[in-house]
């Protein structure tokens, strides 16, 4: 079985949904499973619903905007009396019903129950459209197969139970399902983290022993830099699992950090291809003893640079680090870069859950702290050291770290 993952950009409107069918024509639509993200900016729009719900502002109006957008897309794909319209209304009715009866003050729990509907609706629309044009498939709910704990917004997969659930799938058939979501022991929805649809595809590929997995993007493949951010980038036609994992760790947006491990464990080839040019080979990620030597650039934006220093000018010792890291874990803040001196620790942080202020407040009970918000972290792999001055030109460097031929700089 082959696993294909289509992201939000590839199903953002009616023409994009039709293009998925064109992609499938080039690849063959036999024995495959499609993992689908929410359409376009739907996830952001549903996040706004959750924000308004907790701030007690008009969340119903936000739901209606998202609903009308999906109905408009569907009107361009289906006949007027198609049953998909009733199903879309049911999905949005479920969101409103849940929010009306919800008693939980847990933001992350509510987030997962609401935002997950984007994937459910988009996959249903795509499945129905493909069936209408004779790409016969079965729509299935990923929550029936991917089982997790109740760590809402970043669920941890129960691999044994997930594999058992997937044994019921007939690998001779074709399926359309959702990325980003699973369910806990109580069958409440649990999301797998932002951009978690790639990870979902890898989970299905691993459990189904897929022959290959392909992620369809709006770029030709894995590039030496995001073409929207860097000039003169080129395609990496083949990279090793190790290179891909390293690039994901540093923040390459084309690959989700968790995606590679399950694929590497079973040596499942992984392709990144363009849904705009589906016949092009794209990038193959797989087993290789050779590491890429091409210079590549990775940018992580919306980071925060925090400096933590002891108050009595004592060394930053193990007990201090233990206190700091336990608080980072408590507030679910990820470290993108770390550098320490005798009496201070510099951390470049990713604040996905908007808790850095709470972290800072707690750290100030023990340390002196300073935060510079909204900085950017650049990582240059296989850096051409002779050309660094050109890169540094007109940039205010706040922090720099060099290891072998990898350079990381934080810039304001």
Domain assignments of the chain as residue spans, ordered by start: 2-217, 296-411
List beta partners, residue 402: 407
> Any binding-site annotation on 5?
yes
> Any binding-site annotation on 310?
no
Contact 119, 200 (CB under 8 A): no
> Any binding-site annotation on 6?
yes
Euclidean distance between CA atoms 217 and 198, whole angstroms: 11
Q: What is the pLDDT of residue 82?
A: 97
Euclidean distance between CA atoms 355 and 333, whole angstroms: 7
Across the chain, how many H-helices and E-strands are there?
Answer: 13, 16
Q: What is the pLDDT of residue 292?
A: 78
Q: What is the pLDDT of residue 91?
A: 96
Q: What is the pLDDT of residue 378?
A: 94
In order of 8, 142, 231, 281, the CA distances from 225 in angstroms are 21, 32, 8, 18
Q: Which CATH architecture has domain 296-411?
A: 2-Layer Sandwich (3.30)
Which residues, in sequence order, are CB contacts of 372 under 8 Å at separation 6+? Answer: 304, 305, 398, 412
> Any binding-site annotation on 391?
no
Three-state secondary structure call for residue 336: strand
CATH number 3.40.1160.10 given to 2-217: yes
Q: What is the pLDDT of residue 257?
A: 73
Q: What is the pLDDT along the chain (412 residues), one digit of tens a residue?
A: 999 999 999 999 999 999 999 999 999 888 999 999 999 999 999 999 999 999 999 999 999 999 999 999 999 999 999 999 999 999 999 999 999 999 999 999 999 999 999 999 999 999 999 999 999 999 999 999 999 999 999 999 999 999 999 999 999 999 999 999 999 999 999 999 877 899 999 999 999 999 999 999 999 999 999 888 888 899 999 999 988 888 888 888 778 778 999 999 999 999 999 999 999 999 999 887 677 788 999 999 999 999 999 988 888 889 999 999 999 999 999 999 999 988 899 999 999 889 999 999 999 999 999 999 999 999 999 988 777 777 777 888 999 998 878 999 999 8
In order of 337, 360, 370, 377, 399, the CA distances from 304 in angstroms are 10, 11, 10, 9, 12
Q: What's this model's pTM, rounded to 2 decimal places?
A: 0.87
């Amino acid at each position: 079985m082959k696993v294909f993952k289509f992201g939000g950009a590839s199903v953002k409107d009616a023409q994009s949904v039709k293009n998925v069918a064109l992609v499938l024509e080039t690849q063959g639509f036999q024995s495959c499973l499609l993992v689908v993200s929410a359409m376009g900016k739907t996830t952001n729009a549903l996040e706004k619903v959750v924000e308004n719900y907790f701030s007690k502002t008009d969340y119903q109006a936000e739901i209606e905007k998202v609903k009308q957008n999906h109905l408009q897309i569907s009107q361009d794909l289906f006949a007027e009396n198609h049953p998909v319209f009733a199903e879309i209304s049911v999905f949005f009715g479920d969101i409103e019903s849940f929010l009306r009866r919800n008693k939980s003050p847990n933001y992350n729990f509510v987030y997962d129950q609401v935002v997950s509907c984007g994937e459910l609706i988009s996959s249903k629309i795509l499945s129905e459209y493909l069936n209408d044009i004779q790409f016969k498939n079965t729509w299935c709910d990923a929550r029936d197969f991917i089982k997790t704990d109740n760590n809402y917004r970043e669920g941890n997969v129960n691999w044994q139970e997930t594999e058992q659930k997937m044994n019921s799938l007939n690998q001779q058939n074709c399926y359309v399902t959702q990325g980003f979501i699973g369910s806990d022991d109580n069958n409440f929805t649990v999301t797998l983290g932002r951009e978690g649809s790639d990870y979902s595809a890898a989970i299905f590929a691993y459990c189904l022993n897929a022959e290959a997995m392909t992620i369809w993007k709006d770029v030709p493949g894995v590039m030496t830099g995001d073409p929207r951010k860097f000039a003169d980038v080129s395609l990496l036609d083949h990279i090793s699992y190790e290179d891909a994992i390293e690039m994901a760790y540093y923040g390459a947006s084309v690959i989700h950090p968790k995606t590679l491990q399950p694929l590497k464990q079973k040596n499942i080839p992984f392709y990144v291809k363009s849904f705009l040019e589906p016949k092009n080979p794209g990038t193959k990620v797989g087993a290789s003893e050779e590491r890429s030597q091409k210079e590549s650039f990775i940018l992580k934006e919306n980071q925060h640079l925090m400096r933590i220093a002891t108050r009595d000018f004592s060394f930053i010792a193990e007990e201090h680090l233990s206190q700091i890291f336990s608080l980072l874990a408590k507030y679910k803040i990820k470290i993108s870069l770390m550098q320490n001196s005798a009496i201070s620790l510099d951390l470049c942080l990713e604040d996905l859950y908007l808790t850095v202020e709470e972290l800072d407040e707690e750290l100030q009970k023990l340390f002196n702290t300073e935060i510079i918000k909204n900085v950017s972290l650049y990582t240059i792999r296989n850096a051409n050291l002779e050309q660094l001055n050109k890169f540094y030109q007109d940039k205010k460097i706040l922090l720099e770290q060099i290891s072998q031929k990898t350079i990381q700089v934080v810039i304001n």
